[in-house]
Chains A and B, each alone.
Chain A
Amino acid sequence: MSLISLKFLIFVVIAVVGYYLIPKKYQWIWLLVFSYIYYISSGVKIVFFLVFSTAVTYMTGLLLQKSEEKESTLGKKKIKARKRKIITLALLLDFGMLGILKYTNFLLGSIGSVLGSSVPEFDFLLPLGISFYTFQSAGYVLDVYWGKCKPERNVFKFALFVSFFPQLMQGPIGRFETLAVQLYARHSFDGQRIERGVRRILWGYFKKLVIADNAAMFVNSIFGNVDQYSGLAIIGVLAYSAQLYGDFSGGIDVVSGIACLFGIDLDENFRRPYFATSITDFWHRWHITLGTWMKDYIFYPISLSKWMSRFGKKARKKLGKQIGRALPICIANIIVFLVVGIWHGAAWKFIVYGLYNGLVIGISGMLAPQFRQWKNALHINDKGKGWMVFQILRTFVLVNISWFFDMASNVPDALKMMRYAVTKFEISELFTAGIIPLGNNNPKYIMLVIATILFGCAVLFVVSVFQERGLTEAELYRKVPFALRCLCYVAILFILPVLGAVPVTSGGFIYAQF
């Protein structure tokens, strides 16, 4: 069931109305039932994987707690070893399932190309949202393992934590500590909250339909026919910047808006990423819940591991204090972004995408003291607006380089497009017959679509500037009378499909494939 469909809207309306009509103590059960209905509507077979992941993590939580209770009789050391065995097995089962389903064919294909022969591939199902609920579940068991949270004893309550339907397909990746308590709480109807949710859903649809889906038509043509549209490589990647942000953050806005209707605040996943002043800052603003997940569950554990500590000490002795201190962090960074790349998909281009990000962050971290010295020597005022604008533009260029790997069919195509981006520019190619599948190749229609995208981006930019300056949306909307606000919401709901490229895109989201 697509997030952009009448069926889905009706589904949400029924779920919300019923949620506030039934006794409050049954609200979480209502959410669980609707979550499973939603998931089953995408395919009955894939429910098995969701149930498997839920069962494994639920049991692991209880086993970890049981082990801890025996600490006084069996001793700390023995219990630590036992807990380690339990968590290792749980993570192997959780990530093993994800790995087999998502990466087996990629590995077989890579082995085949190395051996120069074709290796038969498996026809695996890739359950929707598996990467998201696997990461969320793994985070939970690690939190229990580290003693950051107590395990949930009620299996059905726990099942809701794993399957809460708005966030199941594309996140945000929730934390048990903050999400579970909201899911199980009793919520009263709150008109202001409902309005906030509706507004957020409409804003998400605006980003998705007006910006992402229109831009997608150009992106698909340009990235799919690299040589034919060689003069549009730069426009292609800029359009992809707009598409990806509109698609993913728009989807998250819809998801968060729906959760808001149920009285639940999901973690924020975006904070105006194209205003980032460095790649590190970009990852603090883009797909935030994946970034913090990676930081807490991979980056810190690797960096603080005994073997990394030993390596750091050796590096200090041989390479000096500064490099010795920074090198282990750089390596941990590269490992994290390698995982981020692999998480994005089973293809070499995603591995290059991850490594590129890891290397840029790692190297800039290593060279930070040198950069500070250069800035001082050149008398650069790093608190000034000029420097900030330079940093934002520099980061935007660096991010766009990574988008070539993300969107191109493969690494050679990405490199070819990068070359075209700096050596060729032919705006007239935008009006080539067939570049968009709508409008019967009429240049006026193409102009209209471009104008729509630019209008969408301009609105997004203005809103983002307001948000960057700390103005909340409530302050802006409060000045408009309630009746007029409602009229605007209805008008927007009807205008959006007209501005969007609905006949072509059919409402799919990029990150729902993960």
Chain B
Amino acid sequence: MEQLIEILEDIHPGVDYETCTTLIDDEILDSFAILSIVSELEEEFGVSLTPVDIVPDNFNSAKALWKMVQRLQNEE
């Protein structure tokens, strides 16, 4: 989780990722940031995402992102 927050802060600094749960709903992350995160997740955690995974529910908070990463790791 810490590693994930580091990634998020590197891509889009200035957000409290521990508490924020509206990263997509409040348009904090745009599509450029989302795909940068995807690229880092693939690199750091060895998971591969498909278009179906790119939904607000998976990207609205660091916690949701972490849950998705764990799910994808288990699937692979």
Contacts and interface: CB of A to CB of B under 8 A. Distances in A.
Nearest to B36: A325
Assign chain A's interface to a size class: 20 to 34
Interface in A275-330: 280, 284, 295-296, 299-301, 303-304, 309, 312-313, 316, 325-326, 328-329
B52 A303 contact: no
Contacts of B36: 325-326, 329
A237 B13 CA distance: 38
Contact of A280 (B30, B40, B48): B30
Interface string A326-368: 1011001100000000000000000000000000000001001
Contact of A303 (B13, B35, B43): B35
A280 B49 CA distance: 23
B19 interface: no
A52 interface: no
A328 B39 contact: yes
Interface size class on chain B is 10 to 19
A147 interface: yes
Contacts of A147: 52
A390 interface: no
A102 B18 CA distance: 50
A56 B67 CA distance: 38
A265 to B, nearest CB: 19
A325 B40 contact: yes
A300 B54 contact: yes
A146 B52 contact: yes
28 contacts: A146-B50, A147-B52, A148-B52, A284-B27, A284-B30, A295-B31, A296-B51, A296-B54, A299-B31, A303-B38, A304-B35, A304-B38, A304-B48, A304-B49, A309-B42, A309-B48, A312-B39, A316-B43, A325-B36, A325-B40, A326-B32, A326-B36, A328-B35, A328-B39, A329-B32, A332-B35, A333-B32, A372-B13
Counting from the closest, the 8 A-B pairs by CB-CB distance are A365-B32, A300-B51, A329-B35, A325-B39, A146-B52, A303-B35, A301-B51, A300-B54
